[in-house]
Amino acid sequence: LFRPDGIQIVVTPLNLLGKQNVTSLAKAGIRAITISSETATPVNFQAIRAFHYRTIVVSPKQIMKPDGDFKSLLKSLLFISRVVSIVIDEVHCLTEWGDFRPEYRQLGRLCYILPSNMPLLVASATLTKAALSDITRLLHIQADKLVVICRSSDRPNIKIGVRKIRYTLSSYADLAFLIPAGFKVGDPPAQKFLIFFDNIPESINAACSLRRRPPLELRVKIKWFNADMSTTYKEAELENLVSGETWGLCTTASFGMGMDVADIFLAIQWRATCKIAALWQRFGHAVRNQELIGTALLLAEKQYFDDEQEAKAARKTRQEQTRKRKAKDANLPVTGRTQGQNSRSCKRRKKEVDPGIDYLINAENRSAVMCWRKVFDVCFDNDTA
């Protein structure tokens, strides 16, 4: 706005998010283009070199592609003189996705390509202090040149809840409340929902389970959504969800950052398999319309709840006491667990839950917390924002 000939470069993690950005900018009268593997064509780069676009939204893979067209753009003195700044959106992905998307880690090399005075803006709604420290290190941001602007990530119109998974995981019976028993054609449609899973097979199996609840002609209202699907399909399903044609999606992180649907009334995380920052990203999809009230719900495995762990420990203590008493009554030596038993016990041990998720699950029963919302406030420093 202050430089009519200026160009803004935005690095974004998801192609669908990039397209949404371009659409939003077009409504504001700003010419923009998104560069992904599908749109990185000679024609588009020729238009960029001709300064046809004010904003260029690009994926990390394209901006860091060795000997790619975008890299040559960044080395062009004429082009770079017009660049206002570089924005890395959803920057928490550098730490969360860097292990399986190496191009994210390579973004740190931008400091060696760009002029030293090029402003770099990194943005995220779910950045913890630890993540910010990692990101400044990965991007080689000097402490004396760093300015941090912190805003509260709290969403007062989202009610937060945690519930135990009471039935077998493979039955998905704990999700049955979304489609009440006896649901029939002509009943009011289910409120829009998103259920997040951390693997694709579970999301598909859960969708199939839910689709058995309504009448046959309504089963298409519930679908799955993941990275294995084409961009065209995902764009169409996003539109179906916005319009209400689709009631709900069983999705992975593919329905991720920036997916803007105003009236999703229920966002659910299935199982305690993600980190606290990722969970708040997912919960944040509920009721983007601030005038609506929605619910965010974590359905977690029983073994992560303090009361269940205490009950299990008490049962083991009683069993051990009974075993010792019987051994004493029979004049048998009292022995501890064998090495083989300990080994089998270790193999059965469940993967430890993220510390933030652990506090969230047990917040109501821990005197230092006593509130689910407080866990997020502490993680994201909302009280100091």
Give me the CATH topology for the region 7-145: Rossmann fold (3.40.50)
**Helix (H) / strand (E) containing 294:** strand 294-300
Angle of helix 276-283 relative to helix 372-379, nearest 10 degrees?
Answer: 110
Indicate if the pLDDT at residue 99 is higher than 70: no
Confidence band for 348, pLDDT divided at 50, 70 and 90: very low
pLDDT for 176-197, tens place per residue? 999 999 999 999 999 999 999 9
pLDDT for 232-271, tens place per residue? 898 899 999 999 999 999 999 888 766 789 999 999 999 9
Compute the distance between CA of residue 268 and CA of residue 192 in angstroms, rounded to an integer: 11
Domain boundaries, the chain: 7-145, 158-301, 304-348
- CB-based contact 155:125 (threshold 8 Å): no
Report the percentage of the chain scoring pLDDT > 70.
92
Cα dihedral 98→103→104→108 (10° resolution) = 120
The dotted CATH code for 158-301 is 3.40.50.300
Q: Residue 27: helix, strand or coil by DSSP?
A: helix
Radius of gyration, CA atoms only, the chain = 25
Same fold, 7-145 and 158-301: yes
pLDDT at 296: 99
